Amino acid sequence: MNKFMKLGNALLIHTVAGSLVAEKLQQGQVATIKHSKGKHLYCSSGRLWVTLENEPDDHILEANQCLDIDENGRVVISALASGTFRVA
């Protein structure tokens, strides 16, 4: 079971093995994901700015783009344009 916690304009997501997370973000909203090593972050629509803990470069994902998550650190997703993403 996934655990979600809304903190003002932010969303904190804890994933568990084998789980699927799908979430919609409005422009300016932020989601933080933990425990997601080995999963894929897929931008279904919109435009996302993604920061991976312990990785020097940030990533911009457009609709239909995917990013592999190789570490168990925190993943911060900011919506540059309203859209949806999923982690699987």
CB 13 within 8 A of CB 33: yes
Residue that is written with structure tokens 């859209």 in the block = 83
Assigned domain for 67 exists:
no
Query: Taking Cα atoms as reference points, which of 31, 11, 25 lies closest to residue 81?
Result: 25
Q: Is residue 45 part of a domain?
A: yes
88 domain residue, yes or no: no
Residue 87 lies in a domain: no
The residue range of the domain holding 13 is 3-59+73-81
pLDDT tens, 16-43?
455 557 789 999 989 888 888 888 999 9
pTM exceeds 0.85, yes or no: no
- 65 in a structural domain: no
For 37-79, write each residue's pLDDT tens digit.
888 999 999 999 999 998 899 999 999 999 999 888 899 999 9
Q: How many folded domains does the chain comprise?
A: 1
CB atoms within 10 A of CB 51: 16
